[in-house]
Structure 1
């Protein structure tokens, strides 16, 4: 066979394999489950359809505060919605999966075509196989309507850019049209497609400046015309990308830029299992994305890419092709480097970087193709053997684990088994369909049942033809509080320790959805309803009844972290603090991320005045969830009592930032500021409380106290008079009136108020007032005793400390002592030091 025939047969083989893959992927897509994002994308596509149907009158598509989908072009979803609607397709997810698999096939096809342009049809065939047997690509091709279509349009445009560079100095109209279409298609799915425009200019410019002809008048003119043409193509491509995107149409220049800023660092933070730890996506390790690419790609990709890069400089067959290799390397490296530089919010493995995958696969195919083209049969067949060995692992995984191919890890981390408990498994909820199908085939009868799941919308779809089934949403760690008969769980957001120790899947699991021998999902039959009865009794404050139910449940499921937490809550309510700690710690042993148990533990420690231990526990709790308002409150309370007021203020400020109108946190902030005589900042806090909690007694009294200490007794008395008559004898009111009376030198009234509180002996402020009263009577020794008692009750009480110090350091008259305490001095800095160059105010609420 001559070279021409060989070329023709290789090309035919390429197209034959491509058609086979298309058929195979179309068929395989119909048994796949839905992804966790599909329902919101499908819902939004209806809003977009209505936007165009009403000529922009229906603006629902522009109002997406939760999903943020207005920032996406979503052309693919819009197309699937129109097809389903026009053809009245009832199985709309299966229809979407078919179309999604076609976009995945197009991604594979154009990756192969790009490889054939650069290396030849043989490399193109190898690229087809490498892409198809990349479980990361294949698994997402079933149901990822964002990342796969975007990866296709990105690769499609790269292919025509390579063609354009090869065809220069000719400028084929068809190639230019496809370039413009590629730009438009990319932008219509994600604004990140804008990156293709600078690609085109950068590598076209490189093409020209590396040619000697460029430095002639004719060459320069040709280059200038080409740039003008590409500018037109880019403008048309940009405009075309906005046509199916309502938000962009509302502001064709401003809104796409806004979208780019939003997408570069998405606001939503999700917990991700990475390197054996749960990390918030916004704070995740900088190498998260690139590491996921290397551990989820078949090893053959890494080996092939290394071979290509290592040998590129020495390969004569690559002469005049370096610009293409530079383009492919740049198209892989630059987007990843940019996300690292911008500290982008990545989650869900490397799915947000799937669009960068094709270029590195092309180079990997080129690395092996070099040896496949050798005439030495030992090298050629040896290379085929190496390829076969390296492909065995992903090929086996692909067919063994359909349709959960995307739950794949290579040998660098010990395969999927080695990654279990260290990295995310079924983070996209694909396994729920398998669980639903099994339940339908094996457990479902005519009786009504309730099924709990951690993704109800897609699970409801699987049971759409079974009216006896009710599907409810439940977080896995709140399952005991819900009424259900069966549950179908994907193992996303499960604590690593539970995966490693075998605490998950839970007891009474009747079926597991496995990948390479590890459970990524589970079907569970309820073991008992005693947990539910316990939580329902607890809601009604029937503690004895709740304890009995919890005890019954723990007899059959002693390692249930949720019920152990529930029992700890009862112990705290009954003020059995040691028991609270025992049950909370037991819950934490079985789930170190049981945040409710951490909260109970911290609260019990604070109540026991073990503030150092409480601070340590609160820090552990906030490592799990930093924006947990109650956790920040407990931390602030511990810090306040450890006499660290500035740190306490910051914690309370965070608590109020994460939970609006957090009364207790605001009260604590006010107390700290009053304690350090910063009345001007304390009063606005009490005003804020009184805005949403009108006539709150404690806030009113504290504000009155602040006014009195600023010598505004008129305003102070006015505030106290607003308190209802039945509350005028309230302890807090009595103390405030006593202060004001002493400030007016009305000692008879002050004595009357103190006498009203004569039986109270556990309040530091009251002992301060008693000390101030007896100092007026020149009874310094008794005053000292009162101030010492106040300090004993509250070691952080600055007023008691200052008064005690004044007695100990100098001899003064009673009147002088009274003036020192009742008349406010110049406000003491809350920072305990003379102000240095401007410091941030501790009362500033931090950003979330």
Structure 2
């Protein structure tokens, strides 16, 4: 009777949750990867609509998206074409929220499989108070559908393998579809095939050694079932993946190898440092999980560890251990592989349903074990208290749920400047919509150029008078624009902590918990843009005069100080140039170009120690600023050739094809070891 009531409550809550999630998705911005994945899905659509004649989806040297099956994106684009949907991104966000809801429901049914619908209800509640997942469920059509595919694959694999009767046709079909979706979204989905085989062989081995169902015919049937499901799931994953279809055996594996060490690297803030993503410390992933998952979820995991031993039978314990393995194995694997990770832990959202499941089972086991009101009531109050922090954040900061940091990090305020905020550019929509309203009240001046550090053309699609131009925030003065919308991404942590960003000419700021995540900027002068053009034309006098005027209006632009220094050097005024460079470094102490130019001036004045210091600071600020390595090596080439070679080798370890470093390294051997120099010369000649 109680179970039936819980079942009804579960389904009512699930329906309510679906309606809420679909409604919430209407306010979602376009996510950081969304435009590029949508464009690639259009290429995939053309590939199939032209029967393979259009090969654009196979030629993606910059995005590397041919290595993604991105089945869910492709499905969305197919539906968009089929039904003539115009509001593309609104539809995509509805699809994403539906996938997120399915993920929650499957996880809840997984909990019911172990402990009934009371545990399933707890799964719904824990997901509802998980800002990170609920935020990504608005517009992340890559990681959320993959989370659905992953937890579904694990769930139906365990149901199939540990079924005491013949597996149902429904379980087999859903498992095949889950495997297909996993592989079809990203090559890492091949992992679920390994899980299925591992689970099956473990069960067969266990039954064999315990003399349970020791029958060759049964073993044969199980192996046939394993092979059949694996093959069907694998082939299903390739259906909408052009690159995989070129060679169904080799290319998915090649894609998997690319995914392990994804070639795209970005600079992001972690522990207050602005580092390249392939140089984050090994604990990047577990640290981000620790500071962004709500504490209430962790409390459930603790409860599981303390109470599960008495709650479940031997078979259930084995299944729970295998579930834990599917959570922990990917984490350990990428740490050991030193994989390139960025964007918090969104690429690992696929393990979060398993974490929620363990937590919900833990809380359920606790209340099943302790029936005394003296224990239950304080426990309930404690759990409710732990939900306040994430619930308040979501209620106060809609729709920016994914920016949540828990109490370990000190909330978003404690994380600001130490960790990323709007790394997925959700706030650009708010900024664009505010600017559109603002422009309606401004005199019509013809074309308005809006710039930004993320493509937002879609927001201005109905206003032909607005033209968009993309630029990195640091280089904003190099571009012609009237207004700019800047998300809090790729902003140096020094500028965040010292309130240099948002800039002073900001006319609107999007705040989350009092933290600025997007700035709408009005340009007060274009003399900076004109000055840079004059500098390019070699007119140092005009450029210097223009930069002088700009600095009086904008005293927080490191690029202008740097460009002014270049003009002053052209005029022979190196002392003022150094002053401008120092001013640039006061605005951004890690500004590589200013550090390098200071080093160049020190070299010119034979201050080799100062020059080496500036060059080393530039490398510390950005180890991938390759042009500085030969400069630093040049200082030591005469006095300490081994140190010079070490510097150049450091450069070549990062970029083996960097010609200036190879040339400089060859020169260090030219007089003392001509044969080695000749080897490097051959390498240089082979470079295109």
Partner of 1:455: 454
CA 1:339/1:632 → structure 2, altered by over 3 Å: closer, same or farther?
same
- Cα shift readout 1:419-470 (whole Å, capped 9, x = no counterpart): 00000111111100000111112334433311110012xx110011111111
The 2-side partners of 1:110 and 1:168 are apart by 21
The 2-side partners of 1:646 and 1:639 are apart by 7
- Cα shift readout 1:734-773 (whole Å, capped 9, x = no counterpart): xxxxxxxxxxxxxxxxxxxxxxxxxxxxxxxxxxxxxxxx
Secondary structure of the 1:629 match is coil
CA 1:596/1:555 → structure 2, altered by over 3 Å: closer, same or farther?
same
Q: Which runs of structure 2 are paired with 1:810-829 in the superposition (5 Å)? A: none
- CA apart distance, 1:28: 1.1
- Cα shift readout 1:309-339 (whole Å, capped 9, x = no counterpart): 13333x2455542022112211110111111
Partner of 1:596: 593
Query: Match for 1:365 among 360, 365, 387?
Result: 360
- Cα shift readout 1:645-699 (whole Å, capped 9, x = no counterpart): 6625863994899698967x7775665455547389469859979999xxxxxxx
Query: Match for 2:174 among 178, 186, 191?
Result: 178
Query: Match for 2:544 among 544, 547, 566?
Result: 547
Secondary structure of the 2:467 match is strand
Partner of 1:620: 617
CA 1:670/1:125 → structure 2, altered by over 3 Å: closer, same or farther?
closer
Contact 2:68 2:185 in 1 (8 A): yes
Greater CA deviation, 100-109 or 640-649?
640-649
Partner of 1:347: 342
For structure 2, which runs of at least 5 residues remain unmatched after alignment? Answer: none
Secondary structure of the 2:403 match is coil
Partner of 2:77: 81
- Cα shift readout 1:556-602 (whole Å, capped 9, x = no counterpart): 33232121111222233344444333322221121122121112111
Secondary structure of the 2:485 match is strand
The 1-side partners of 2:684 and 2:208 are apart by 73
The 2-side partners of 1:123 and 1:479 are apart by 52
- CA apart distance, 1:637: 2.2
Partner of 2:560: 563
The 2-side partners of 1:528 and 1:452 are apart by 15
Partner of 1:29: 25
- Cα shift readout 1:169-213 (whole Å, capped 9, x = no counterpart): 432222122112211111111111111122123233444555589
Q: Which runs of structure 2 are paired with 1:681-700 in the superposition (5 Å)? A: 681=677, 685=681
Q: Does 1:497 align with 2:505?
A: no
CA 1:603/1:330 → structure 2, altered by over 3 Å: closer, same or farther?
same
Query: Match for 1:291 among 268, 287, 292?
Result: 287
- CA apart distance, 1:220: 5.8
CA 1:357/1:482 → structure 2, altered by over 3 Å: closer, same or farther?
same
Partner of 2:531: 534
CA 1:686/1:356 → structure 2, altered by over 3 Å: closer, same or farther?
closer
Greater CA deviation, 526-535 or 227-236?
526-535
- Cα shift readout 1:352-402 (whole Å, capped 9, x = no counterpart): 110011111111111211233343223222222122111111111122212
Superposition RMSD in Å: 2.6
CA 1:355/1:499 → structure 2, altered by over 3 Å: closer, same or farther?
same
Partner of 1:277: 273
Partner of 1:324: 319
How many residues align? The count is 684
The 2-side partners of 1:656 and 1:241 are apart by 36
Partner of 2:56: 60
- CA apart distance, 1:20: 0.8
Greater CA deviation, 541-550 or 61-70?
541-550
- CA apart distance, 1:494: 0.7
The 2-side partners of 1:687 and 1:284 are apart by 31
- CA apart distance, 1:237: 0.9
CA 1:641/1:470 → structure 2, altered by over 3 Å: closer, same or farther?
farther
Secondary structure of the 2:185 match is coil
Contact 1:577 1:608 in 2 (8 A): no
The 1-side partners of 2:371 and 2:482 are apart by 66
Contact 1:180 1:236 in 2 (8 A): yes
Q: Which runs of structure 2 are paired with 1:475-494 in the superposition (5 Å)? A: 475-494=472-491
CA 1:201/1:682 → structure 2, altered by over 3 Å: closer, same or farther?
closer
Secondary structure of the 1:488 match is strand
CA 1:224/1:671 → structure 2, altered by over 3 Å: closer, same or farther?
closer
Partner of 1:256: 252
Partner of 1:239: 235
Secondary structure of the 2:631 match is helix
CA 1:668/1:159 → structure 2, altered by over 3 Å: closer, same or farther?
closer
Q: Does 1:519 align with 2:516?
A: yes
The 2-side partners of 1:361 and 1:582 are apart by 56
Secondary structure of the 1:182 match is helix
The 2-side partners of 1:670 and 1:652 are apart by 11
- Cα shift readout 1:55-112 (whole Å, capped 9, x = no counterpart): 2222211111111111111111111111111222111111111111111111111111
CA 1:529/1:378 → structure 2, altered by over 3 Å: closer, same or farther?
same
- CA apart distance, 1:511: 1.2
- Normalization by structure 1: what TM-score? 0.77
Q: Does 1:119 align with 2:118?
A: no
The 1-side partners of 2:398 and 2:630 are apart by 48
The 1-side partners of 2:680 and 2:89 are apart by 54
The 1-side partners of 2:159 and 2:65 are apart by 34
- CA apart distance, 1:230: 1.5
For structure 1, which runs of at least 5 residues remain unmatched after alignment? Answer: 693-848
Q: Which runs of structure 2 are paired with 1:693-772 in the superposition (5 Å)? A: none
Partner of 2:434: 438
Q: Does 1:395 align with 2:391?
A: yes
Greater CA deviation, 398-407 or 462-471?
398-407
Secondary structure of the 1:346 match is coil
- CA apart distance, 1:33: 0.5
Secondary structure of the 1:413 match is coil
Q: Does 1:97 align with 2:93?
A: yes
Secondary structure of the 1:429 match is coil
Contact 1:296 1:409 in 2 (8 A): yes
Greater CA deviation, 374-383 or 431-440?
374-383
Contact 1:108 1:132 in 2 (8 A): no
